[in-house]
Structures are given as structure tokens and as C-alpha cells.
Structure 1
């Protein structure tokens, strides 16, 4: 196959299946994206404006919401434009940028969830040392690490991808994915460095998952011997645990499907699998946090009471 790397337009073949119901899908997607923005921005504003919520747990929740706005904005506007313009095209530069945003969003989410697990571990298992260990400076360092590490890793990954010669321009998804772009490289292209970075990234974030499991083993062990700790677990840890399980399930499923899937599945089902991580966690997790965390729930109810007067 001829080298087509000089052509700077990709075709997103996954969108073809949606064009038969373009108007309905556009309307539902637009409403859903607006609801996601509303829920996340509302929680951000509530946490920023209410000084009673300026605690590590709520600051981290605010970071999760900011990350959700960032990640979902990397997918929904471009998808909506493609539906609106009857096009399945995306420029090479925007494709790489979208891949960077979505990858960094997913890894930032896992990093912040790991920091939240560490925060809950200190609060429940080492309460006497919590204030001295979870200081503003330590919290800032952990949040900075959660953001900067994925940005650095995927900057390198996207840079390595950008140097590849491509022999195909068809991406069988609704959006751009770095690993899919690498698979479009010509046979004589050196993709070893891309593979090494990819598996190193997986190793780094799998270690995040093991760290979270380790913290929750200690948390559950501590809560089993104390009624007060069990109450604290149900109020603050359960929303985080549900959020974590939801996120990990859709990410692992998508990762396994992307690398080892069969193309025999209907395209519509492939599309649904592909967008799970921007479909369920940003909506469901915010509802869980909003209704389960007492201070957040009380603040929301107080706003409704004020608005109803």
C-alpha cells in the first residue's frame, strides 16, 4: 500500500452507522453533554464558593469534575459537529489532539481516584496524623502529580506517533485513539518505541489500581472493628468506591476490546463500547457524589430552598 502520510485528513468510519438516525442522535447527545456540563460545573461552583467544603476530599472531587469537563469536551463537540456537517472527516492535527485529550483524561481520572483513596486511608486508618500528613502543600503536590504525569507521558506518546509514516487513513471508531493511529503505520515504520511507551503507561496505571486496592484493604479492615468508621466509610468511601469500580470497568473493558476485539460485532455495538468511558462515569458518578456526600447534598438542598422562596 502506498504511503499516505502526507494526506492530513482521517476518516472516522464508526460514524457511518449513526448517520441513519443523525437528528435523533444529535439531539440526545447535545442534551446529554449539556447535562454532564451542568452537573460537573455545578459541583465545581458549589465546592469553590462554600468555604465549609474546602477540605481535601471535596477539593479532590472538584478536580474530578474539572477533569470530566476537560475529557468530555475532547469528545462531544467534535462528534456533534460531525453529525451536524454530515462529515466523517477529522484533520490529522485535531485527531492527535483528541487522542491526547481522551488518553490524558482517562489517566488523570485514575490518578485522582488514587489520591482520593489515599486521603480516605489517612482519614480512617490514621486519623491522628491526618492533619499533619494531608496538608495544603501535600494536597497540591498530589493533584499536580495527577495532572502533570499523564500530560507528560501522552505528550511523548503523541510525539512518537506523529513521526510515523501512515499507510491508511481510516479509523474504525467515533473518535481518534493513539493506539489505532499507530496500527495505521506502514510496515516499514518503527513502532517499537510507541509499543514500549504504551505498555509502560499501562504498567504505571495498573500500579495505581493496585495501590487503590491496598488502601481499601486497610480501610475495610479498620472499619470492621469500629462502628464510627463504618459510618464514615458509608458516607465518604462508598461514593468513591462506586465511582472507581464504574470507571475501571469501562476503561478495562474498552482497553481489552480495542486490542483484542473481533470486527464481527455490529458497528453500533462497537460504537457503544468505545464511548462507555465518556458516557457513564461523568454522569453517574456526579449523581452519586451529589446525593451521597452529606455536605454536598445539604448544600444542594439549601440552594433549592433559597431558589424556591
Structure 2
């Protein structure tokens, strides 16, 4: 009987203890979260000490993201709605390029805008790894697709008689599949090598950047040497392959066009202007790659600790931070200009756009 009478008191005491323990755990979790948030904001302020710079970057990323999605969406709809364009090889490759650009802009633009609005750096976690994986795949796929598009134009101009027999529909699909397969394989190897430096204690901690790009992720994981070397060598080789293929294709096309008018003692200005235009656009597209190569070289020459000394000197601009911001901005440029260069610049695509608008009005 005494035990039965004391039972309610014991139960109340146990409940009070459990409540106290849960409150303590909740307060500890809240304290840890606040500490991580403060750390992310301190890292953010070390990169962008000026509120004016933050507001300008927000406007830039919002405008470029919207423009990129609109231009890529309109171009893709034009290509998909036109039966005359859908069968052409170059526009099939352009669709592949647009898909890669849209994936890049969707995973990168909102992430950077969120960090700028919250004024904190990106925490290391599942989304960080996913965003790094998708962005790396898209960058590799874009380079391979641009290479294939240059080779396709070379076959069309210089091997016109054998164009359809060389670039069949089956080979075209294999080419598109190859661009994604090799990009996924290279990125998987890089991600696996990075995971060797993974530590559970790093989960949730903010990185020293607004995006999980290679330099910031490698610095957060303790600079795994194997991953850095493989990424730099693979990226350099793919970039050189793209430059070499592009230069060879358009120089050969220019030579063919010049030889066609040489007996008439005339200069093919249109061919020269076309080659100059596409080569200059290639340099603009590869600007993020050039910045990445320059950043990798500086990290190797100046040392890892020298490039992240902003942690010990908050409030000042460093070369690593400037390169990080420039890389984020220039990565937004290719998805904006690719549809203009390879899509809307073509007369066929421009003619298909009014038909698409009329179809949209009628269905509306």
C-alpha cells in the first residue's frame, strides 16, 4: 500500500527528470546551432565585409539566374516544337548543352542567393556534396558538348559529302551519352577521393565559401592530395582537349571557305568574322575554367595556409576570396550566352520563336 501511494510521486519525479534532461539537450542543440550560425556569419563577413557588395551580388545573381532560365527555356521550347529543327544534329547537341546549363544554374544560383540573403556561408552536408557533384558533372559535360559541337560543324563544312554517313543518328546518341557518362565517371572519382578526407565532426560546419566549389571543399576536408591532383589534371586535360578541337575545327572551316573564294581574288570576310566570333565566345565560355586553373596554380605556389589567411584576418579582402567571388559570377555567364551563341543566333531558331509564341497564345 505504501508503495502504491508513493508511485504517483515517483512517476512525477521521473517525468520531471526526463523533462529537465530534454530541456538541457534542447538547449545544447540550440547553442551548437547558434555557434555554427555565428561561425558561418563570421566567415561570410571575412569574405564580404561590405553590405553594398552583398546587395550588388544578390541583384547580379538573381538577374543572371532569371535571364538564364528564360533564354534556355525559350530556346529549348523552340527546338522541341519545331519538327524541322529537331532532327538536325547540331540542335540535338544544343539541347544537351541546354540541359547541362539548366542543371548548373538551378543548383548553383539559388544556393548562392540564399547564402547572400542569410549572410552566412554554406554548411557542409548532404546538399553541399550533391551540389558539388552536379555542378562538376555539368561543367565537364558542357566542355565535352562544346567539343562535339565544334567537331560536328567541321564534319558539316569540310566533309559535307560524307556528313550523314559519318554522323548517323545512332552515333549522335552515343556521342551525347558519352558526354554524360565520362562526366559522371570523372566526377565520381573526384567525389570518392574527397570522401577519404571526410570526418563526421565536419558535418554541419560552415565552409569558407558561398558554394561547394573544389577549393573551398578541399580546404574544409583538410586538403586531400589525391583528390586535388586528379581534379586538376583531369580539368586541365579536358580544357586543353576542348581548345584544341575547337581551334582545329574552325581553322579548317576557315581554310575551306578561304580556298573557295581564292580563285576570284576575294577575301571571305564572313568566314573570318564567324571564326573570330566563335573563338572569342569560346574564350568567354572558358573564363571560369581559366580562373579555376589560375586559382589552382596560386594554391600550389603560395601554399594552402597562405590562401586561407582570411580566417586570421577578418574584414579584409584576400586573393582567394576575390577568386572565389569571380568564379561564382563567371560560372553564371555560360548558361546565359550559350543559347544566344548556338541557338538564337541561327536564323531557323529565330523564325521558330514567333510560331512558339503564337501557339502559346492560342492554347492560353
What band does the TM-score fall into relative to the shorter chain?
Answer: 0.7 to 0.9
Q: Does 1:147 align with 2:183?
A: no
Q: Does 1:49 align with 2:85?
A: no
Aligned position for 2:333: 280
Displacement after TM superposition at 1:210 (Å): 1.8
Displacement after TM superposition at 1:97 (Å): 1.8
Q: Kindly tell me: are residues 280 and 157 of structure 1, through their superposed partners in 2, closer, same or farther at Cα, counting changes over 3 Å?
A: same
CA contact (8 A) 2:40 2:207 kept: yes
Aligned position for 1:222: 256
Residues 171-207 of structure 1 deviation map (CA, whole Å, 9 limit, x = unaligned): 44321123432344448xx633552354144324422
Q: What is the DSSP-based 3-state SS (H/G/I as helix, E as strand, rest coil) of the residue aligned with 2:123?
A: strand
Q: Mean alpha-carbon deviation: is it higher for 253-262 or for 214-223?
A: 253-262
Aligned position for 2:244: 210
Q: Kindly tell me: are residues 235 and 44 of structure 1, through their superposed partners in 2, closer, same or farther at Cα, counting changes over 3 Å?
A: farther
CA RMSD of aligned residues (A): 3.6
- Distance between the aligned counterparts of 2:349 and 2:192, measured in 1? 41
Q: Mean alpha-carbon deviation: is it higher for 242-251 or for 103-112?
A: 242-251
Q: How does 1:108-127 map to 2 (within 5 A)?
A: 108-127=141-160
TM-score, normalising length: structure 2: 0.70
- Distance between the aligned counterparts of 2:272 and 2:278, measured in 1? 10
Residues 192-231 of structure 1 deviation map (CA, whole Å, 9 limit, x = unaligned): 355235414432442232222222232221121125xx69
Residues 223-250 of structure 1 deviation map (CA, whole Å, 9 limit, x = unaligned): 21125xx699589867654442211233
Aligned position for 1:40: 72
Q: Give 1 or 2: higher helix fraction.
A: 2
- Distance between the aligned counterparts of 1:266 and 1:194, measured in 2? 19
- Distance between the aligned counterparts of 1:269 and 1:197, measured in 2? 21
**For structure 2, which runs of at least 5 residues remain unmatched after alignment?**
1-35, 262-267, 308-316
Q: What is the DSSP-based 3-state SS (H/G/I as helix, E as strand, rest coil) of the residue aligned with 1:275?
A: helix
Aligned position for 1:20: 51
Displacement after TM superposition at 1:265 (Å): 4.1
Aligned position for 1:260: 298
**For structure 1, which runs of at least 5 residues remain unmatched after alignment?**
1-7
Aligned position for 2:213: 177
CA contact (8 A) 2:121 2:209 kept: no
> Rg: which structure is higher?
2
- Distance between the aligned counterparts of 2:227 and 2:55, measured in 1? 42
Aligned position for 1:4: none
Aligned position for 2:115: 82
TM-score, normalising length: structure 1: 0.81
How many residues end up aligned between the 2 structures?
Answer: 300
Q: What is the DSSP-based 3-state SS (H/G/I as helix, E as strand, rest coil) of the residue aligned with 2:48?
A: helix
Q: How does 1:62-77 map to 2 (within 5 A)?
A: 62-77=95-110
Q: What is the DSSP-based 3-state SS (H/G/I as helix, E as strand, rest coil) of the residue aligned with 1:225?
A: helix
- Distance between the aligned counterparts of 1:63 and 1:11, measured in 2? 37
Displacement after TM superposition at 1:153 (Å): 0.7
Aligned position for 1:298: 351
